[in-house]
Structure 1
Amino acid sequence: MNKILNSARKLVTGLTLVLASSVFMTAHAKTVTVEHIKGSTEVSGVPQRVVVLGHGSLDVLDQIGVAPVGASHMLLPDYLKSYAKTTKNTGSLSEPDFEAIYMLKPDLIIAENRMLKVYDQLAQIAPTIMFYVEGDKYWADTQKNWRTLGDIFEKQSEVEALIEKTQKQITAVNQKVTKDETTAMMLMNNGSNIAMFNKGSRFSIIFDDFGFVESKSAKVAPIKGSHGNLISFEYIADAKPEVIYVLDREQAIGRSEGRAKQLFDNALVAETPAAKLDNIVFIDSSAWYLAGGGVTATQRMLNDIDRTVKQ
């Protein structure tokens, strides 16, 4: 009888210790404070039900092994297509489905640039952080965002390895480009309109991180627009760039197959050093325009640049 009582006491004591330990760990669950463009957000513990509203942040979660419960299925790049089957659709890249998000009972929402205006509504559903990338701070913001997700999901070592690998590639490109003082233009066609993006604008990574020198016309003036400065083919010819990068916006947003190649096949462009050097690159429109800040997207951007960097 005494043996039975002793065993019972040991069992109760053991359960009490387990319960106490569990309560202690819950009470002392780690909290990460995330500073972002909309303020600060406290994230307690490791989130289990994550809703991610952009392709860049989804790309990072994919790389570090975090499976979200909800994501935007709109214009998913090929390397993220599987999430159309494994997650609940949360709306477009700029207009979230608030009801669908609420029903998922998320413990963390990750929003991107296009969701800036609806941040407050999202934050009413669950703790919300901004995965925000400024065009003129692309690599700096991208590293910050990757590290933030690494801290939240306790994947710091994985993130640091990704950053180290990418930094080495960026440095190698920059050293070659700056040594040769290579001139370049970053262009985007939207239908038949051509826009140019300068240093300090949305695609400033071309100049800030990769090290290209801006090509500008001294004779033809650009026209300021909502998607870059509008220019003509005469402007491009007078600017004489050694490299031309072209982003087809229509293709990026799924309106058509895009007609950038046809549009740039003309006598004025043919006279540029870029054309003569075979340095006109029609870049990965999804990576540059929709999935910026992602791991795979950044790698594809580097791949586009590598096509014109002669070692």
Structure 2
Amino acid sequence: MRTKYGLALIATTVLAGVALAGCTTGDGTGSTSAVGQTAKVDASSNAGACGQETRSITHELGTTEIKGEPQRVVALEFSFVDALASIGVKPVGVADDNDQKRILPQVLDQIAGYTSVGLRQSPNLQQISALKPDLIIADTERHKAIYDQLKGIAPTIAFDSLNASYQENLNSAVAISQALNRCAAMDERLRKHRDTMAAFKAKIPAGEKTKYMFGIASEKTFAVYTGDAYATSVLRELGLESVPPTEGQNTRVELSLETFVATDPPVLFVAKSADKTLFDQWQTSPLIRQVTAVKEHRVYPVTQAVWSRWRGIICAELIAQDVITKLYGG
């Protein structure tokens, strides 16, 4: 996972910036980077692009010229599928890890009929080419090495999905709508999203400062996510504060039982990636009963697919609903 430095902007402030900038305002300029380098996009990176027959879309691996309105889109990460579904676009191809069950049910209903193009980590280029796409959406980290091959098949734009925070994901969604010439639809979807997130936030008692930890338990490890990871940055939008074991420089850190006990989270959200996990083994230790979340029965199981594997507008709303239901019963 990536390493981040410095303080992240508060999600509510930056999301308001998306509202003000929208998809269609600004001067339309953006930086260009060579393949192998990345340049972060924000909500105004491609402002002014929509409505143009030919658009130069700035993304994290460069600038791509797109003509017309793409109709045959291939998405190589789940967050991009989320962005497409959010504005009513059905991709012709999805890297779904060869398992349709990995698509969230709330999204699958909207994109039924797509063709699998294999693993997200290593999509099948022949299958992608056979679909004759007119736009490919790739992940900056996972697909940097095959970016030249992808753009040889069709115009390709790339954004950080694997390591993206909540706000970075929203920026990518805006840029995707600009590439598709669907800015108005994304503006409307983000307006509804802001209203939805505000409604969830309003259910948290005024003045309450809930601190929590979010971890993934596997057979041999227990890893927690710090404040700049995707799910935790969604919770920051709600006003909740993560309890990371570090200063927040790493988005994912593995803990020992002793470190977990010393961190002492008052609330714990935990997803399991295996039937029998290291966290399950810890339950036999008397040390675990020293943790506030355990003593007060505030350990909440969550779904790995929603909280870790998937990212996006729809996903953020599902995470927020999950938190409010589990913590406040609403």
What TM-score results when the alignment is normalised by the length of structure 1? 0.73
Partners of 2:231 and 2:112 lie apart in 1 by 32
Any conservation in 2 of the 1:43–1:152 contact (CA below 8 Å)? Answer: yes
Partners of 2:219 and 2:243 lie apart in 1 by 23
Q: Which structure shows the higher helix fraction?
A: 1
The structural deviation recorded for 1:34 is: 2.0
The structural deviation recorded for 1:285 is: 0.8
Any conservation in 2 of the 1:54–1:72 contact (CA below 8 Å)? Answer: yes
Three-state SS of the structure 2 residue aligned to 1:209 is: helix
Residue 42 of structure 1 corresponds to 65
The structural deviation recorded for 1:237 is: 2.3
Structure 1 residue 96 corresponds to structure 2 residue 114? no
Work out which of the residue numbers 245, 252, 255 in structure 1 matches 2:269: 245
How do 1:196-235 residues align onto structure 2 when only pairs under 5 Å count? 196-201=224-229, 203-205=231-233, 208-215=236-243, 228-235=252-259
Q: Deviations over 1:31-84 (max 9, x none)?
A: 232222111112111012211112221122223222222222324224245689
Residues 192 and 244 of structure 1: CA distance in aligned 2, closer, same or farther (over 3 Å): same
Residue 178 of structure 2 corresponds to 151
The structural deviation recorded for 1:177 is: 7.8
Residues 71 and 209 of structure 1: CA distance in aligned 2, closer, same or farther (over 3 Å): same
Q: Deviations over 1:106-131 (max 9, x none)?
A: 11001135323322221121100124
User: Which of the two has higher C-alpha Rg?
Assistant: 1
Three-state SS of the structure 1 residue aligned to 2:64 is: strand
Partners of 1:185 and 1:99 lie apart in 2 by 42
Work out which of the residue numbers 274, 285, 292 in structure 1 matches 2:311: 292
Three-state SS of the structure 2 residue aligned to 1:93 is: coil
Q: Deviations over 1:258-289 (max 9, x none)?
A: 64773464444444322344322222211232
Q: Deviations over 1:208-255 (max 9, x none)?
A: 4343334366xxx99x99x8322122322222212112132x3xxxxx
Structure 1 residue 67 corresponds to structure 2 residue 90? yes
The structural deviation recorded for 1:97 is: 0.8
Residues 156 and 85 of structure 1: CA distance in aligned 2, closer, same or farther (over 3 Å): closer
Work out which of the residue numbers 229, 236, 239 in structure 1 matches 2:260: 236
Q: In terms of mean alpha carbon deviation, does 76-85 or 282-291 score higher?
A: 76-85
Residues 173 and 272 of structure 1: CA distance in aligned 2, closer, same or farther (over 3 Å): farther
Q: In terms of mean alpha carbon deviation, does 196-205 or 168-177 score higher?
A: 168-177
Residue 325 of structure 2 corresponds to 307
Residues 159 and 269 of structure 1: CA distance in aligned 2, closer, same or farther (over 3 Å): farther
Any conservation in 2 of the 1:34–1:43 contact (CA below 8 Å)? Answer: yes
What TM-score results when the alignment is normalised by the length of structure 2? 0.69
Residues 164 and 94 of structure 1: CA distance in aligned 2, closer, same or farther (over 3 Å): same
Any conservation in 1 of the 2:306–2:315 contact (CA below 8 Å)? Answer: yes
The structural deviation recorded for 1:89 is: 2.1
Partners of 2:316 and 2:257 lie apart in 1 by 29
CA RMSD of aligned residues (A): 3.3
Work out which of the residue numbers 246, 260, 273 in structure 1 matches 2:292: 273
Residue 143 of structure 2 corresponds to 115
Three-state SS of the structure 2 residue aligned to 1:307 is: helix
Q: Mind listing any 5+ residue stretches in structure 2 that lack a counterpart?
A: 1-50
Any conservation in 2 of the 1:274–1:280 contact (CA below 8 Å)? Answer: yes
Any conservation in 1 of the 2:70–2:180 contact (CA below 8 Å)? Answer: yes
Give the partner amino acid of 2:256: S
Aligned residues: 271
Give the partner amino acid of 1:283: V
Partners of 1:104 and 1:298 lie apart in 2 by 30
Percent identity, aligned pairs only? 22
Partners of 2:180 and 2:326 lie apart in 1 by 37
Any conservation in 2 of the 1:30–1:44 contact (CA below 8 Å)? Answer: yes
Residue 28 of structure 2 corresponds to none
